[in-house]
């Protein structure tokens, strides 16, 4: 390990946490000093593999050590206080999406990080996907006439998820927050924040009373960006196959993007050009971690991608969606953002 490597701990060792850990260990900027998970055996076996210290108590990991970075994969219901303690100890924090359970919690993290002059970022790895980069560049170059409709789909089928993600208090939200966050992040980063959001959501629980105590597994969003540009998102855990894609409709072209493809079609959906990329989760996670590390080590030369403050826009849109689902009326994300401006 080099002298300038960042002393790092990983919080949470589910599949995503282990991907985060593996990627961090393979690039030259991080020194993995400790890992933590509430499953003692898992923490010990992973720590043995990476030759670092194991912890099954998140609080002890934070208070007993001084790290440069904390990589957070654990659900915030189990570690929110400890992440805040880490920030107060000047740990830079990278959180797997979503950044928080609600807008207020996200804003609190952002404010705390700014007060402590540390980095707080969200590992929105699709920001580094070449397919989405190609879409952004195509639109920036004005190569489509009058993009008027943005349509997104996120279905994950009946893929198992932890029981706590069905609890609104522990999870903060269901399919929108947990499964669609990066897709929403892409929409907002490309098209900006919508003026209005209208949402409907439900789940497949047997009766209405039961549904009130569960997070949503199906949602439909309508978004108004301008008087001539609209968007929609259909999201569900109730049916498959698993797919996430974004389509942009213009007068002369239709653009379709997923994690590995960028397709240009004519107005009749005949393919004009298609590009395929070999990006995968590990490659994209590595790029996200490299950006995070370099923004700490050489901040003047490396702008942080997907800072916590950047992600407040996404959280405001999601907060608006959940509010709209309760009120039955369109809601304005800008009003929510005003709380922290």
| pLDDT given at position 319 | 98
pLDDT of residue 211: 75
CA dist., res. 188 & res. 314, Å (int): 7
Q: Per-domain residue ranges for the chain? A: 6-125+282-306, 126-279+313-340
The count of other CB atoms within 10 Å of the CB of residue 63 is: 12
The confidence score (pLDDT) of residue 212 equals 72
Please write down the long-range contacts of 176-179, taking CB distance under 8 Å and 24 or more positions apart: 176/201, 176/216, 176/219, 176/221, 176/235, 176/318, 176/321, 176/322, 177/98, 177/101, 177/318, 178/98, 178/215, 179/154, 179/235, 179/237
Angle between the 181-191 and 308-327 helix axes, to the nearest 10 degrees? Answer: 110
- Residue 116 is encoded by which pair of tokens? 């402590």
Q: What is the DSSP string of 139-200?
A: HHTT-SS---EEEEEEE-TT----GGGG-HHHHS-SHHHHHSHHHHHHHHHHH---SEEEEE
**What's the CATH architecture for 6-125+282-306?**
3-Layer(aba) Sandwich (3.40)
What is the block-wise mean pLDDT of the chain (341 residues), using blocks of 10 residues? 81 98 97 98 98 98 98 98 98 98 98 98 98 97 95 90 93 97 97 98 79 89 97 92 95 97 96 97 98 97 97 98 97 94 68
Instruction: Sort strands 30-36 and 53-55 into parallel, antiparallel or unpaired.
Output: parallel
Note the pLDDT of residue 3.
Answer: 57
Q: Which fold has domain 126-279+313-340?
A: Dihydrodipicolinate Reductase; domain 2 (3.30.360)
Look at the pTM and tell me if it is higher than 0.85. Answer: yes
């Amino acid at each position: 390990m080099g002298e300038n490597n960042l002393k790092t701990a990983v919080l949470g060792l589910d599949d995503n946490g282990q991907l985060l850990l593996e990627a961090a260990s393979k690039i030259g900027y991080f020194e993995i000093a400790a890992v933590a998970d509430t499953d003692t055996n898992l923490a010990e076996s992973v720590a043995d593999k990476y030759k670092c210290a194991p912890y099954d108590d998140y609080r002890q990991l934070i208070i007993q050590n001084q790290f440069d970075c904390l990589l957070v994969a654990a659900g915030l219901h189990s570690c929110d206080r400890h992440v805040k303690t880490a920030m107060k100890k000047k740990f830079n924090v990278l959180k797997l999406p979503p950044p928080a359970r609600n807008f207020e919690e996200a804003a609190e993290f952002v404010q705390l990080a700014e007060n402590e002059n540390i980095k707080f970022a969200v590992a929105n790895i699709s920001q580094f996907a070449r397919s989405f980069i190609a879409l952004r560049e195509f639109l920036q170059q004005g190569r489509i006439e009058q993009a008027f409709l943005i349509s997104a789909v996120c279905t994950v089928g009946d893929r198992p998820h932890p029981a706590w993600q069905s609890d609104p208090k522990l999870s903060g939200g269901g399919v929108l927050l947990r499964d669609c966050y990066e897709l929403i992040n892409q929409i907002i980063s490309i098209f900006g924040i919508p003026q209005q959001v209208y949402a409907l959501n439900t789940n497949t629980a047997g009766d209405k009373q039961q549904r009130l105590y569960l997070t949503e597994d199906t949602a439909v969003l309508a978004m108004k960006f301008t008087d001539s540009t609209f968007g929609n998102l259909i999201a569900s855990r109730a049916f498959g196959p698993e797919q996430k894609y974004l389509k942009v409709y213009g007068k002369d072209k239709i653009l379709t993007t997923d994690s590995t493809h960028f397709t240009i079609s004519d107005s009749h959906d005949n393919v004009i050009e298609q590009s395929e990329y070999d990006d995968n989760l590990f490659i994209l996670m590595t790029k996200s971690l490299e950006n995070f590390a370099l923004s700490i080590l050489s901040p003047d030369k490396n702008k942080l991608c997907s800072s916590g403050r950047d992600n407040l826009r996404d959280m405001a849109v999601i907060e608006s969606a959940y509010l709209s689902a309760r009120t039955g009326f369109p809601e304005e994300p800008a009003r929510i953002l005003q709380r922290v401006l």
